[in-house]
């Protein structure tokens, strides 16, 4: 899983001040025309950054989970296109746009479930088409600016999710989350973690239970790590322990992220989210999904149309490269599942909290 | 986790013929006055046996999960007492029985949830009290014979569980199981795996889905491994994937083992069993528990009285000694949970299949 290719840096300052008391990890940024991303596949053992000098390196980084999380890979996709565009030599718009074809397709093919890659690329395509008379060099600058804007907007969106979502958190609540929909999954502040961060800023005492989230252990390696950095009280459990803790009355609500939410409120998210939602229903625990509008796909009617990525068996049979399973064992490794809208209490967006049935109201606001 | 102390052997013949086409792994046996156990903490990477020369080594082997599984640790407990008794020098019964005090208490304190240790020790205590006039040397022989009988009976019990349980498996079924309630958890043939083995012997085509079972990965390391040895079609998944596969209609029934089942049919078993039972209910999938009567504790009215072991955080934060979680993270590591009887379709015992509500009928048969 370790990323080979681009230069690797250790940085003594992986955190940036975000306002208030919050320092969030720098997940991704453009530095000197390169896409610098934290290699999350090595966390929490190593805090290392990789610099991607071309779009293929960015695509590889997305595929190998150096960067992951729906919003973060949307940002990475935009930055990948922007640096890919820089390398295109073209005489006119049509030639330039044609040259971007392989850039778009390579980046789009990295991961099928999250809609944010598609969303980011569509946004850049619209920008290009709207400015086709501007000249190639100007277009390259526009793409670069737009990619940086997508990053900056993402943090603002997450803070808005935090403001709306903090209302559902009461003083003293214990919140369970699955996978990582935190700073590391976004430009900063996180989606599912945003209401937690805002609630804490508001002085509420909260506890977080982080499912470890097999197979890639994003809850263990990433969520627990980043919440500890922020001084949020976090406890790590195996995915198997969620039900037992709910039965003991130790969990008040669940907040998770999403890779793609359909128009009817069906939620695709990391494998195990569906099970968690069922456990919440069985224990009368509210189940919320933090979803920036960029992750809501109004073009599909239900979750049945969301492609579910199946990943390599090695994610299940090995951990950190160490084999844990018998040689030759058959494996099913579904990376995501779809939680039907009926299990979802509310969808927390940057424009408010919506019941799944009321997502049409959000669409009308866009 | 690797066991240090007793001699370690690699054996080229870890399997014994059990009749039919079945070769089952030799989990535990008495050899030359020593308790030889397969070190399951190293499976499937290494097939190594350890020879325990005194009862403390047996207790250590139970505690460190070299041997695990409710029936298997019941057998180990009996063998531990038998070799512990050999070392006692006593003039009369009372002195002998008093000398066994620390042996009983050391072995009883190893693991609290499974009732089989208590069951085995109570059986030996009754044997001693019934034969108190027999003389010390004779009592030592009786204990040794009884321990070997417990092993031999266990395999017969499991084959009976297989005969009763095979009726619930239809040709073409896919069965999900959690943790390991297989040959390795017993004297041989397994409890939850017994109906699968018998169904296969009957010519039914079956598939098994093995939950990997974090944190100790018994499903991945043990169940997948032993079913592969027996040529049973097994597919490994993360615990998180069970719900998604059920939603796809890919699972027909669940069979799990139990560490202790209460008189009302509440079932204590490996952490995650409760979640699996809820998922089964939500998808209308029958949820069966294979329980030798030795694991049914009629002395307790409900699962509320079953002690639940919490184990060291390192089982969650490390795998094979490799750290996966942030240093200093808080952890909850519940080793078991209790599935209320209302989620249990039937309890498969060596005397028949009972609804939880009808366990009183089983009690009447004993």
Per DSSP, the three-state class of B255 is strand
DSSP state of A87: T
CB B186 within 8 A of CB B158: yes
- Whose CA is closest to A237, among A255, A252, A265, A217? A217
Q: Would you tell me how many other CB atoms lie within 10 Å of the CB of residue B364?
A: 7
Yes or no, beta carbons of B331 and A44 under 8 Å apart:
no
pLDDT for residue B237 is more than 50: yes
- Whose CA is closest to B55, among B88, B10, B32? B88
pLDDT for residue A236 is more than 70: yes
CATH of the domain at B350: 3.40.50.10470
CB B147 within 8 A of CB B180: no
Is A259 an annotated catalytic residue?
A: yes
Do A138 and A180 lie in one domain? The reply is no
Cα within 13 Å of Cα(A209), Cβ side: 24
Yes or no, beta carbons of A243 and B282 under 8 Å apart:
no
Q: Which residues of B touch A303 (CB under 8 A)?
A: none
Q: For strand B322-323 and strand A207-211, is the pairing parallel, antiparallel, or unpaired?
A: unpaired
Q: pLDDT over 90 for what percent of chain B?
A: 90
- Domain boundary at B108, B138, B159, which? B159
Q: What is the pLDDT of residue B101?
A: 98
Touching check for A306 and chain B: CB below 8 Å?
no
Touching check for A240 and chain B: CB below 8 Å?
yes
CATH of the domain at A34: 1.20.120.420
Q: What is the pLDDT of residue B320?
A: 85
Q: For strand A287-290 and strand A346-349, is the pairing parallel, antiparallel, or unpaired?
A: parallel
CB B75 within 8 A of CB B26: no
Do A245 and A331 lie in one domain? The reply is yes
Owner of token pair 């994937």:
B241
Residue A210 pLDDT class (50, 70, 90 cuts): very high
Touching check for B247 and chain A: CB below 8 Å?
yes
Do B20 and B152 lie in one domain? The reply is yes
User: How far from chain centre, in Å, is Cα A75?
Assistant: 10
Do A279 and A359 lie in one domain? The reply is yes
**Mean pLDDT on B236-251:** 98
DSSP state of A288: E
In a domain, A2, yes or no: no
DSSP state of B169: P
Do A208 and A326 lie in one domain? The reply is yes
Entry field: residues in chain A: 366
Q: How far is B186 from chain A (nearest CA, A)?
A: 20
- Domain boundary at A159, A184, A213, which? A159
Cα within 13 Å of Cα(A324), Cβ side: 28
**Domain total in chain B:** 2
Do A152 and A174 lie in one domain? The reply is no
Q: Which residue of A has its CA nearest to B275?
A: A243
- Domain boundary at A101, A132, A159, which? A159
- CA-CA distance, B162 to B155, in Å (whole number)? 10
By residue range, what is the domain housing residue A231? 165-365
Q: Which residues of B are catalytic?
A: 259
In a domain, B1, yes or no: no
In a domain, B106, yes or no: yes
- CA-CA distance, A167 to B156, in Å (whole number)? 60
Yes or no, beta carbons of A316 and B274 under 8 Å apart:
no
Furthest-apart CA atoms within chain A: distance in Å: 67
Q: Which residues of A touch B274 (CB under 8 A)?
A: 243-244, 247
Q: Which two tokens stand for residue B235?
A: 């597919």
- CA-CA distance, B258 to B119, in Å (whole number)? 14
Q: Which residues of B touch A251 (CB under 8 A)?
A: none
Mean pLDDT check: name the lowest of A3-12, A130-139, A165-174.
Answer: A3-12
Do B141 and B76 lie in one domain? The reply is yes
Interface of A with B in 125-144 (CB under 8 A): none
**Mean pLDDT on B257-268:** 98
Yes or no, beta carbons of B44 and A325 under 8 Å apart:
yes
CB B330 within 8 A of CB A210: no
Residue A230 pLDDT class (50, 70, 90 cuts): confident
Touching check for B316 and chain A: CB below 8 Å?
yes
Q: Is the peptide bond before B187 cis (omega within 30 degrees of 0)?
A: no
Do A144 and A33 lie in one domain? The reply is yes
Alpha helices in B258-340 (DSSP H): 273-282, 314-317
Do B59 and B99 lie in one domain? The reply is yes
Yes or no, beta carbons of B212 and A242 under 8 Å apart:
no
**What is the dihedral sign for C-alpha B201, B207, B213, B216?**
positive
| Residue of higher predicted confidence among B17 and A61 | A61
Whether complex ipTM tops 0.90: yes
Give Cα separations from B90 to B105, B121, B127 (angstroms): 19, 20, 18
Do A260 and A155 lie in one domain? The reply is no
Q: In this predicted model, what pLDDT tens digit does every residue of B331-363 receive, in sequence order?
A: 999 999 999 999 999 999 999 999 999 999 999
pLDDT for residue B240 is more than 90: yes
Give Cα separations from A263 to A77, A123, A186, A297, A353 (angstroms): 23, 19, 22, 6, 15
Do A284 and A171 lie in one domain? The reply is yes
- CA-CA distance, A220 to A133, in Å (whole number)? 49
Q: Which of B214, B274, B324 faces A247 most closely, judged by CB atoms?
A: B274
CB A140 within 8 A of CB A100: no
Q: In this predicted model, what pLDDT tens digit does every residue of B23-82 receive, in sequence order?
A: 557 899 999 999 999 999 989 988 889 999 999 999 999 999 999 999 999 999 999 999
Q: How far is B199 from chain A (nearest CA, A)?
A: 21
Task: Mention every residue, 6+ apart, whose C-beta is less than 8 A from residue A91.
Answer: none
Q: How far is B360 from chain A (nearest CA, A)?
A: 26
Yes or no, beta carbons of A332 and B212 under 8 Å apart:
no
Q: Which of B247, B270, B325 faces A274 most closely, judged by CB atoms?
A: B247
Q: Is B31 exposed, middle or buried (0-12, 13-18, 19+ CB in 10 A)?
A: exposed
Yes or no, beta carbons of B320 and A325 under 8 Å apart:
no
């Amino acid at each position: 899983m370790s990323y080979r290719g681009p230069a690797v840096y250790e940085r003594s300052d992986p955190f940036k001040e975000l306002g208030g008391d919050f320092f969030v990890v720098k997940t991704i940024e453009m530095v000197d025309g390169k896409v610098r991303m934290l290699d999350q596949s090595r966390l929490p053992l190593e805090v290392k950054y990789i610099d991607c000098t071309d779009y293929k390196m960015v695509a590889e980084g997305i595929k190998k989970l150096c960067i992951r999380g729906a919003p973060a890979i949307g940002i990475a996709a935009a930055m990948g296109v922007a640096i890919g565009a820089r390398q295109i030599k073209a005489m006119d718009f049509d030639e330039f746009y044609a040259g971007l074809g392989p850039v778009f397709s390579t980046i789009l093919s990295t991961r099928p479930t999250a809609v944010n890659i598609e969303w980011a690329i569509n946004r850049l395509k619209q920008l290009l088409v709207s400015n086709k008379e501007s000249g190639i060099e100007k277009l390259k600058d526009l793409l670069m600016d737009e990619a940086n804007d997508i990053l900056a907007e993402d943090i603002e969106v997450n803070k808005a999710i935090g403001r709306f979502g903090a209302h559902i958190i009461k003083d003293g609540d214990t919140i369970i989350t699955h996978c990582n929909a935190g700073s590391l999954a976004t430009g900063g502040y996180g989606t599912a973690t945003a209401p937690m961060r805002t609630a804490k800023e508001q002085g509420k005492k909260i506890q977080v239970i982080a499912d470890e989230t097999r197979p890639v252990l994003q809850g263990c390696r990433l969520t627990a790590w980043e919440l500890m950095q922020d001084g949020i009280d976090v406890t790590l459990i195996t995915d198997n322990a969620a039900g037992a803790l709910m039965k003991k009355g130790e969990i008040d609500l669940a907040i998770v992220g999403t890779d793609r939410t359909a128009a009817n409120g069906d939620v695709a998210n990391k494998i195990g989210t569906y099970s968690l939602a069922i456990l919440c229903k069985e224990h009368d625990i509210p189940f919320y999904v933090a979803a920036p509008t960029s992750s809501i796909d109004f073009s599909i009617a239900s979750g049945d149309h969301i492609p579910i990525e199946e990943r390599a068996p090695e994610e299940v049979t090995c951990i950190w490269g160490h084999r844990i399973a018998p040689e030759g064992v058959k494996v099913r490794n579904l990376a995501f599942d779809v939680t039907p809208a009926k299990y979802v209490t509310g969808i927390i967006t940057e424009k408010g909290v919506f019941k799944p049935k009321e997502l049409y109201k959000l669409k009308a606001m866009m």
